[in-house]
A and B are shown apart, each in its own frame.
Chain A
Amino acid sequence: MNEPVFIAGTGIISAIGNNVAACLDALQNSRAGMGPMKYLRSAHQQRLPVAEVKLSNEELAALAGLPAVKSRTALLSLVAAKEALSRSGITDVKAWRTGFISANSVGGMDKTENFFNQFLADNRKGRLRDVINHECGSVTELAADALGIKDYISTISTACSSSANSIFLGARLIKNGILDVVVAGGTDSLTRFTLNGFNTLMIVDEQFCQPFDEHRRGLNLGEGAGYVVLVSDKVAATLPDKPGITLSGYCNANDAYHQTASSPEGTGSYLAMSGALKKSGLQPSDIDYINLHGTGTQNNDIAEGTAIKRLFGPHFPKMSSTKTFTGHTLGASGGIEAVFSVMALEHSIVFPNLRLQTPMKDLPFVPVTEVQQNVEMKHVLSNSFGFGGNCSSLIFSKV
Chain B
Amino acid sequence: MDKLISDLKSQIVTQLNLQDIKPEDIGDDQPLFVEGLGLDSIDALELIVLLQQQYKIKLSNADEGPKVFRTVRTMAEYITAHQAQNS
A and B touch in the complex (CB under 8 A): yes
Residues on A lying within 8 angstroms of B by beta carbon are 200-202, 258-261
B interface residues (Cβ-Cβ under 8 A, vs A): 40-42, 45, 48-49, 62
The reply to whether B40 and A200 form a contact with Cβ atoms under 8 Å apart is no
Q: Which residue of A lies closest to B65 (CB)?
A: A202
Query: Once the chains bind, are B45 and A258 in contact (CB under 8 Å)?
Result: no
Q: Could you tell me if B45 and A201 are in contact, using CB atoms closer than 8 angstroms?
A: yes
Contacts of A200 in B (CB 8 A): 45, 49
8 Å CB contact of A258 from B41, B48, B49, B62: B41
Residues from chain B with a CB closer than 8 A to the CB of A202 are 45, 48, 62
Asked if A260 contacts B62 (CB within 8 A), the reply is no
Q: Are A260 and B45 neighbours in the complex by a CB distance under 8 Å?
A: no
CA distance A261 to B49 in the complex (A): 19
Q: For the complex, what is the distance from the CA of A258 to the CA of B45, rounded to whole Å?
A: 15
8 more A-B residue pairs beyond the given contacts A200-B45, A202-B45, A261-B41, with a C-beta to C-beta distance below 8 A: A200-B49, A201-B45, A202-B48, A202-B62, A258-B40, A259-B42, A260-B42, A261-B40
A260 vs B40: C-alpha distance when bound (angstroms): 11
| Residue from A202, A258, A260 having most chain B Cβ neighbours under 10 A | A202
What are 14 pairs between A and B in contact, CB < 8 Å?
A200-B45, A200-B49, A201-B42, A201-B45, A202-B45, A202-B48, A202-B62, A258-B40, A258-B41, A259-B42, A260-B41, A260-B42, A261-B40, A261-B41
> Interface SS of chain B: helix, strand, loop or mixed?
helix
User: Which chain B residues lie closer than 8 Å to A201 at the CB level?
Assistant: 42, 45
CB contacts (< 8 Å) of A260 on chain B: these are: 41-42
**Please, how many angstroms separate the alpha-carbon atoms of A201 and B42 in the complex?**
7
With both chains docked as a complex, state the minimum distance between the C-beta of B64 and any C-beta of chain A, in angstroms: 11
Taking CB atoms, residues of chain A closer than 8 Å to B62 are: 202
Chain B residue nearest to A203 (CB atoms) is: B62
Determine the distance from Cα of A261 to Cα of B45 in the docked complex, in whole angstroms: 13
Q: Which residues of A contact B45 (CB under 8 A)?
A: 200-202
Tell me the smallest distance from the CB of A296 to a CB of chain B, in Å: 14
Q: Tell me how far the C-beta of B24 lies from the nearest C-beta in chain A, rounded to whole angstroms.
A: 29
B21 CB, min distance to chain A CBs, angstroms? 20
Residues of chain B with a CB closer than 8 A to A258's CB: 40-41
CA distance A189 to B50 in the complex (A): 31
Q: Which residue of B lies closest to A218 (CB)?
A: B62
In Å, the complex CA distance between A261 and B40 comes to 10
Which single residue of chain A is at the shortest CB-CB distance from B59?
Answer: A202
Smallest beta-carbon distance A366→chain B, Å: 24
Name the residue on A nearest B44 (C-beta).
A202
CA gap between A202 and B62 in the complex, in Å: 7
Beta-carbon nearest neighbor of B48 in chain A: A202
Complex: how many Å from CA A260 to CA B62?
A: 16
**Once bound together, how far apart are the Cα atoms of A189 and B45, in whole Å?**
25
